[in-house]
Chains A and B, each alone.
Chain A
Amino acid sequence: MRGNRIRGHGLAGYIVLSVFAVPTLFPIYVMLNMAGKDLFQYTLRPLLPTFPYHFENYLYAWQFLARSFFNNLVIIGVSTTIVLLLASMTAYALARHSFPGKRFVFYAILCVLAIPATVIMVPQFMLVVQLGVVNTLFAVMLPYAAHQSLVIIVLYTSFSQLNESMFEAARIDGAGHLRIFTTIVIPLSKPILAAMAIFEVWWLWNDYAWPSLVLSSARLRTVALQLVTFVDGMAIPQPGQEMAANVIAALPIVLLFLFSMKTFISGITSGAVKL
């Protein structure tokens, strides 16, 4: 209720934000509107709504995208699981223990954030060639699984704030790392782990450049790759079906977002602010 204290300013805010909301949401309107058009409707009226809305466009696009959804599921599922598991192990070691070389390890992880992804794309690609996994899902999953520096740093700050007395009690009970990890760290850090999972999924779902470099087989394409192929590769123009494909591609993230807005926002902001 902070706004109440300064009067006479609410209206201007509403007006400005409402006005700018129109262009902000315009691409989403374009997407949903065009996705329901057949070629005739598109040629006649590309911008204004037309009836009937052709839901069958979605079915057509889905047939083209189905396989790539499965690929994304595998890639993102596997790599996010690995990232969360390994990153939380490392963050636990860093946050709750002191050992020789701790500072070195910490800064080695931190410095990765300064290495730009695009710049190491060439040698990363050559490495994948040397490992002989070019054009397999491993070529995507392995570097994605290594993409954990940011998660480690965020989890480190979070784990550091946990109360030491619990750890002490557990240690007196004779608990090992595994038990402390599964009975104390994980249960107490569920929200931040969930946020980090969402952050990783969001980041991986959007990635286009890396998979386009290492996945050249049609059967391995990710959703982002398949989408560009769908839009560019058609002999007969199908703007409706193409946009329907876009809507379908955006849907998982939209759903994830709608059902977990709070976690999503905290996940993304915590991920970025700590950068």
Chain B
Amino acid sequence: MMDKPQVLAGHRSARRMRDVRIYLLMLPSLVLISLFFYYPAVSGFIYSFTRVTTRGAVWAGLANYQRLLADTRLIASFGNLAQIVVFNVIVVATMPLMAAVLMFRMRNPRAQYAFRLMYVFPMVVPMVVMIIIWRWIYSLDGGLNILLSLVGLESITRAWLGDRQLVLYAIMFVNFPWMGGLNFLIYLSGLQSISEELFDAAIVDGVGPVSRFFLIELPLIRDQIRLLVLLTVIFWLQRFELPLILTDGGPGWASMVPGLRMYHSISRDFNIGYGSAIGTVLFILVFGMTMLQMRLGRRRAAADNR
């Protein structure tokens, strides 16, 4: 990754002058990144040990973390998060992959283009808009209940977001069939980079469509699958727009996730210390996931080189 262009030999001071100019080129970026990413990352950790009021921050020791450990509703929200994450990991490893493989094998390039357009299109609808549409679909007079009534399932219609048994599943079900968008595109570009010779060899060997998937396609897009699984985990650990706009974590606490609780603490309840403590826990989780991923990636790269 770190390729080194040729360095022209030169005078020591001239070289230093040149180095200074290079640092100056990078300075604006580095200042902005330090100010808005590294400084907040450190101060966020410090805020988690304080109580913030309109007068400023007061040292509060471990009070926020003590409350966090005793907060049964917060701990339960981690359970909700785990369910959502596991579900989405399973989904991301299957549905968009299926769409990508089927589209990849399509013989007519025009049809392929048309299908690709269809499956990418939902991605360009802003997420907020998508969530608002799904909120309507789930409402008592909304799309889902209309469809159910049409097929004679009137008995199971309900206000889906008001049912605490089902609300979490309703949140998972958003964006059904989960095939379009970015995930699909990444799989497709992965498949397209597989060497043609492999498929030619497969034809000669008489490999069938199912074996072809398991013997060629699946092993060669392992990287994409692993990447998307990681991205999915990180995405759902961090994101809360979906429960925020759909249910606000309700009814009661039924669809609460830690990220949303953090958002509430900061922006609604003005409890910045507690929000930061939740944020620190989430940071440790995300960081751990990323490290794990990097380690697995390095081990695999080493195995491939051998």
Asked whether A81 is an interface residue with its Cβ less than 8 Å from the other chain, the reply is: no
The number of residues on chain B lying at the interface, defined by a beta carbon within 8 Å of a beta carbon of chain A, is 105
Given A17-B99, A21-B119, A92-B25; A46-B146 close (CB under 8 Å): yes
Q: Which of A30, A143, A209, A231 contacts B241 (CB 8 A)?
A: A209
Assess the B263–A27 pair: CB atoms within 8 A.
Answer: no
Given A5-B199, A24-B179, A265-B185; A213-B267 close (CB under 8 Å): yes
Bound Cα distance A116, B263 (Å): 14
Bound Cα distance A268, B129 (Å): 20
CB distance from B263 to the nearest CB of A (A): 7
Bound Cα distance A14, B110 (Å): 13
Summed over the interface, the residue pairs from A and B with CB atoms below 8 Å come to a total of: 286
Given A93-B22, A122-B275, A249-B126; A265-B102 close (CB under 8 Å): no
Assess the B118–A25 pair: CB atoms within 8 A.
Answer: yes
Bound Cα distance A261, B119 (Å): 13
Assess the A160–B182 pair: CB atoms within 8 A.
Answer: no
Given A5-B203, A249-B129; A126-B22 close (CB under 8 Å): no
* Chain B contact residues, majority secondary structure: helix
Assess the A265–B120 pair: CB atoms within 8 A.
Answer: yes
Given A105-B26, A123-B43, A126-B43; A27-B286 close (CB under 8 Å): no
CB distance from B179 to the nearest CB of A (A): 6
Assess the A246–B237 pair: CB atoms within 8 A.
Answer: no
Residue-wise, chain A 85-105 has the 8 Å CB interface mask toward B (1 for contact) of 011011011111111101101
List the one stretch of B5-13, B82-90, B163-171 in contact with chain A: B5-13
Assess the A146–B33 pair: CB atoms within 8 A.
Answer: yes
Assess the A120–B40 pair: CB atoms within 8 A.
Answer: yes
Given A119-B44, A273-B227; A94-B26 close (CB under 8 Å): yes
Bound Cα distance A31, B40 (Å): 39
Bound Cα distance A6, B200 (Å): 10
Could you say which residues of chain A place their CB within 8 Å of the CB of B105?
Answer: 2-3, 6, 9-10, 13
Chain A interface size band reads 35 or more
- Beyond the given pairs A98-B7, A112-B38, A206-B127, 11 more chain A to chain B contacts, judged by CB atoms under 8 angstroms and listed by A's residue number, are A5-B203, A16-B98, A47-B143, A87-B29, A115-B283, A118-B259, A120-B44, A121-B266, A126-B47, A209-B244, A273-B186
Cβ contacts A to B, 18 pairs, < 8 Å: A6-B203, A6-B212, A13-B105, A20-B179, A24-B179, A24-B180, A47-B143, A87-B29, A116-B286, A122-B275, A123-B39, A124-B36, A147-B36, A177-B25, A208-B128, A209-B241, A250-B129, A273-B189
Binding site for A on B (CB under 8 A): 2-8, 18-19, 21-23, 25-26, 28-30, 32-33, 35-44, 47, 52, 98-99, 102-107, 111, 115, 117-122, 124-130, 132-134, 136-137, 141-143, 146-147, 176-177, 179-180, 182, 185-186, 189, 196, 199-200, 203, 208-209, 212, 224, 227, 231, 234, 237-241, 244-245, 259, 262-263, 266-267, 272, 275-276, 279-280, 282-283, 286-287, 290
